[in-house]
């Protein structure tokens, strides 16, 4: 998250009682989007005095108005959070010390909610350490002093449960223009790597530049190998996992600590078009950066129609009853399957050109959407204006996880940026998720200007009518 001395930054931290990091990030995104805060950080909370599993910090910079005093600017920046959690303005106190001017929620312990929400604002002008902590940088290892280091992300403390664990930090670039889309793109890596912490920060104030992501996960230590071999193997394995070569992985020593470091350029990663690894680091026990110091719950039988058996006629045969139940099960399964409605606006002069360009794109994208059989329904091509046509297709998949289907769709396109229309993404089977893709530089004829993807469970509304 980039901000300057002319900004005020507000942090809101809260605890979440869920079972997985993915669930925690999704629920945290609900709060962050409601506050219109673009930065999000969630990690396992390991304090023994609480039963809560995860702690989240979300943040937002706001420019300081020349018409406001420092106190007024801090209050204005924090007001969405104060209103959200029903905190009184007079409890948000302006404090000053040798490090600068900041504001904090001042109240007795009993005033804080059970889940412990905290609100904190600081001025970039008076608190230089806060400003430098988030300066954009490609390389985190440059200074030994944590408060002088220029880096994208902040440190995750208490990263490992076991002192022999290897802590791996992945830093990625995501083709996301907003937080909901960034959460959608980072969901799969969180699940695949069983991550324990994640941080999502917009690259700049311009949404077209995407998001930075950092995630941490641990690997059990191996007493038979040296620390150097363990951290080197961990980084090489991460590189191989994402289809990258391990010739960039090297060992650096910071004091007595061996740290494996690997840096990659985005243009080297054609297969991972919307989610690209930029750095891999590994260290024993600690976050390497510290050196620089829902799903698929099975339907319960209660969801079946009540007293269905009693409503059947007494003279129905066993075979008829079995066929009836099979038909009900097939219908339930059909309504849980994911459909995509995809339309593209294409710059061209003939509808046939638009259809051919669009179908070529869909055929290229289809294998990434699902490895199961899919069915295409090509729909009407409309003339938007004299130089633009819109063509649409509905795709019936056998998948049940719309997040996974959208992840495959987003990773099929390069040279552009994704953004979410539905923020945050819907997690209920009855909700739709809509995302858009725009190219960086649409120039030539027959180029795609915009793509919209709508994910639903069961046939989309316009097909149900037919």
User: How much is the CA Rg of the chain, to the nearest whole Å?
Assistant: 25
Q: Which residues contact 25 (CB under 8 A, 6 or more apart)?
A: 40, 42, 183, 186, 187, 190, 198
Return the residue matching tokens 């609100």.
119
The DSSP symbol for 300 reads P
What's the pTM value of the predicted model, to 2 decimals? 0.74
In a domain, 305, yes or no: no
pLDDT at 301: 31
Q: What are phi and psi of 200, to 5 degrees?
A: -125, 120
- Same domain? 36 vs 80: yes
Each residue's pLDDT, cut to its tens digit, for the chain (466 residues) gives: 566 667 788 888 888 888 899 999 999 999 899 888 899 999 987 665 555 578 888 888 888 778 887 777 888 888 888 887 777 766 677 776 666 667 776 544 433 344 456 777 776 655 544 444 444 333 344 333 333 334 457 788 778 888 889 999 999 889 999 999 999 999 999 999 999 999 998 887 777 788 989 999 999 988 888 888 999 999 999 888 887 888 888 888 766 778 888 888 766 665 456 888 888 899 998 888 776 442 222 333 333 333 334 433 445 666 666 666 666 666 767 778 888 999 999 988 888 888 888 888 888 888 888 888 888 888 888 888 888 889 999 999 988 888 888 988 898 888 889 999 887 776 666 678 889 998 887 667 678 889 999 998 888 877 765 5
**Last residue within a domain, chosen from 271, 293, 315:** 293
- Same domain? 199 vs 77: no
**CA-CA distance, 277 to 213, in Å (whole number)?**
9
In a domain, 105, yes or no: yes
In a domain, 189, yes or no: yes
- Same domain? 187 vs 84: no
In a domain, 359, yes or no: yes
- Same domain? 289 vs 217: yes
- Same domain? 218 vs 96: no
Nearest Cα residue to 232 out of 246, 244, 220: 246
Report how far Cα 77 is from the mean position of its chain's Cα atoms: 24
Nearest Cα residue to 113 out of 16, 11, 10, 9: 16
**Last residue within a domain, chosen from 235, 263, 293:** 293
Q: Which two tokens stand for residue 392?
A: 């649409």
- Same domain? 175 vs 98: no
The DSSP symbol for 17 reads -
- The tally of domains found in the chain comes to 3
Nearest Cα residue to 455 out of 365, 340, 376: 340
Report how far Cα 394 is from the mean position of its chain's Cα atoms: 26
Query: Is-contact 156 173, C-beta < 8 A?
Result: no
CATH of the domain at 382: 3.30.70
- Same domain? 224 vs 121: no
- Same domain? 2 vs 130: yes
Helix 351-369 to helix 402-410 angle, to the nearest 10 degrees?
120
211 DSSP β-pair partners: 174, 202
In a domain, 139, yes or no: no
In a domain, 320, yes or no: no
- Same domain? 270 vs 342: no
- Same domain? 170 vs 214: yes
- Same domain? 130 vs 165: no
Supply the range of the domain harboring residue 452: 335-464
- Same domain? 217 vs 105: no
In a domain, 322, yes or no: no
The Cα-based distances of 264 to 261, 283, 355, 456 in angstroms read 10, 19, 37, 36
In a domain, 315, yes or no: no
């Amino acid at each position: 998250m980039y901000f300057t001395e002319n900004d005020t930054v507000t942090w809101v931290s809260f605890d979440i009682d869920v079972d997985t990091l993915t669930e925690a990030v999704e629920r945290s995104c609900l709060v962050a989007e409601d506050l219109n805060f673009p930065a999000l950080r969630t990690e396992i909370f390991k304090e023994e005095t609480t039963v809560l599993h995860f702690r989240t910090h979300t943040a937002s910079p706001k420019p300081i108005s020349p018409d406001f005093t420092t106190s007024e600017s801090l209050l204005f920046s924090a007001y969405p959070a104060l209103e959200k959690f029903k905190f009184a303005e007079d409890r948000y106190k302006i404090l000053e010390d040798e490090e600068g001017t900041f504001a904090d929620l001042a109240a007795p312990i009993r005033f804080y909610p059970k889940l412990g929400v905290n609100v904190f604002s600081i001025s970039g002008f008076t608190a230089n350490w806060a400003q430098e902590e988030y300066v954009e940088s490609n390389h985190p290892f440059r200074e030994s002093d944590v408060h002088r280091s220029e880096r994208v992300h902040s440190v995750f403390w208490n990263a490992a449960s076991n002192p022999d664990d290897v802590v791996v930090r992945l830093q990625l670039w995501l083709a996301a223009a907003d937080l909901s889309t960034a959460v959608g793109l980072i969901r799969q890596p969180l699940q695949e790597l069983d991550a324990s912490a994640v941080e999502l920060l917009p690259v700049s104030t311009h949404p077209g530049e995407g998001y930075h992501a950092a995630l941490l996960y641990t690997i059990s230590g191996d007493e038979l190998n040296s620390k150097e071999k363990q951290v080197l193997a961990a980084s090489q394995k991460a590189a191989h996992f994402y289809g990258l070569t391990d010739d960039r992985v090297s060992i650096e020593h910071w004091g007595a600590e061996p740290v494996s470091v690997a840096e990659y350029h985005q243009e080297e990663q054609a297969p991972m078009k919307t989610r690209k690894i930029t750095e891999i680091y590994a260290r024993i026990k600690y976050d390497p950066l510290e050196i620089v110091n829902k799903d698929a719950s099975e339907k319960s039988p209660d969801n079946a129609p009540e007293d269905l058996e009693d409503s059947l006629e007494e003279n129905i045969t066993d075979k008829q009853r079995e066929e009836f139940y099979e038909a009900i099960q097939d219908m339930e399964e059909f309504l849980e399957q994911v459909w995509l409605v995809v339309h593209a606006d294409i710059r061209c002069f003939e509808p046939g050109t638009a259809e051919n360009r669009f179908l070529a794109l869909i055929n290229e994208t289809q294998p990434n959407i699902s490895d199961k059989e899919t069915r295409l329904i090509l729909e009407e091509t409309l003339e938007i204006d004299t130089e633009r046509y819109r063509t649409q297709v509905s795709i019936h998949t056998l998948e049940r996880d719309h997040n996974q289907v959208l992840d495959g769709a987003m990773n099929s396109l390069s040279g552009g940026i994704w953004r979410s229309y539905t923020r945050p993404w819907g997690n209920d089977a009855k909700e739709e998720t809509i995302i858009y893709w725009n190219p960086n530089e649409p120039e030539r004829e027959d180029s795609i200007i915009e793509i919209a993807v709508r994910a639903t469970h069961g046939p989309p509304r316009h097909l149900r009518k037919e």
